[in-house]
A = this chain, B = another copy of it.
Amino acid sequence: METPATAEELPLVLTLFPFPHIPKIKEEFSKKFTTLFNKPENSISLQQFLTTNPQSPSVRVLISYPKTPVTSEILNCLPSLGCVLTVSAGTDHIDLVDCRRRGIAVCSAGTIYSEDVADFAVGLLIDVLRKISAADRYVRAGLWPVKGEYPLGSKLGGKRVGILGLGSIGSEVAKRLEAFGCIISYNSRNKKLSVPFPYYSNVIDLASNSDVLIVSCELNKETFHIINKDVMLALGKNGIIINVGRGALVDEKELVRCLVQREIGGAGLDVFENEPNVPKELFELDNVVLSPHKAVLTSESFEALHELILANLDAFFSDKPLLSLVKND
């Protein structure tokens, strides 16, 4: 019989949030790994915590999430680090260049959330076009018997939908919207040869030829405020913007102005520039649907994420190929 390893002998994993949530995985996790975690009640910065904690030099893996950037300064405190696993699909909070220089592998959540985010994008779009949330407020306020029929919505079928970023989320959105009879086109860094949809290299051209823009691209220096005033004006008075990417992909101040002044038709927003703060002007509008960055939040995707992280940890500590490895290009 093997003697169970003591906590000191188990590999040390730094988690930047209380991982894992799921009981059955929690148990498996605690048998295999020791956790280092800066509890919120400590109220010291992560860097202070790591600088003063005697275990920091032994940390082998870091489980990261977007709200806490993984900077050179953090990496300096972790000389034994071999792997960063982020719970997000995006890696814009991780200094990938410095990780590569130090020989630290980075794994993301890969495409685990893509279907859920695509579902949510379609849900937001139907909601904005067909006024579902607004009509639900109308019924709950008791207005149906008083004011009668709710104003007409707009049909989804036949709408020209421009997708920004035809990666795994954008492709899933396209697949779904084709079943509703939408006409798809897209913009991305490069034209994709295997894709049948029209490609626009210029976002303004995409907007001019679309009734709806779905924003599902990566946030980086090139895509910051990619949806600016000119794009919104090109989209036009009846145009709808759905953002399930990152808040800063859209110039939010300009978006609010266009919505308030009816220069665009509506918006479904899961992400905002200054989360959890949402511009208050939007609270009064019936042509917007506001969601608290939850497009990825399903119990199914959480379970898949936990299993992926566990599988990556097992792979890392047994020198097997990592799953969902991020390529530094």
Contact = CB atoms under 8 A, between A and B. Distances in A.
Interface in A201-238: none
A188 B277 CA distance: 48
A133 B132 contact: yes
Interface string A121-151: 0111011001111011111101011001111
B181 A178 contact: no
Contacts of A145: 276-277
Given A292-B149, A298-B154, A299-B152, A139 B278 contact: yes
B294 A119 contact: no
A288 to B, nearest CB: 9
Nearest to A301: B155
Interface in A266-302: 275-278, 283, 289-292, 294, 297-302
Nearest to A178: B179
**Chain A interface residue bracket vs B:** 35 or more
A23 to B, nearest CB: 15
A149 B294 CA distance: 8
Given A155-B301, A179-B178, A292 B126 contact: no
A149 B142 CA distance: 29
Contacts of A199: none
Given A119-B126, A291-B139, A152 B277 contact: no
A116 interface: yes
B144 A292 contact: yes
Nearest 5 pairs of A and B residues by beta carbon: A123-B126, A179-B179, A155-B300, A139-B290, A144-B276
Interface of A: 115-116, 119-120, 122-124, 126-127, 130-133, 135-140, 142, 144-145, 148-158, 175-176, 178-181, 275-278, 283, 289-292, 294, 297-302
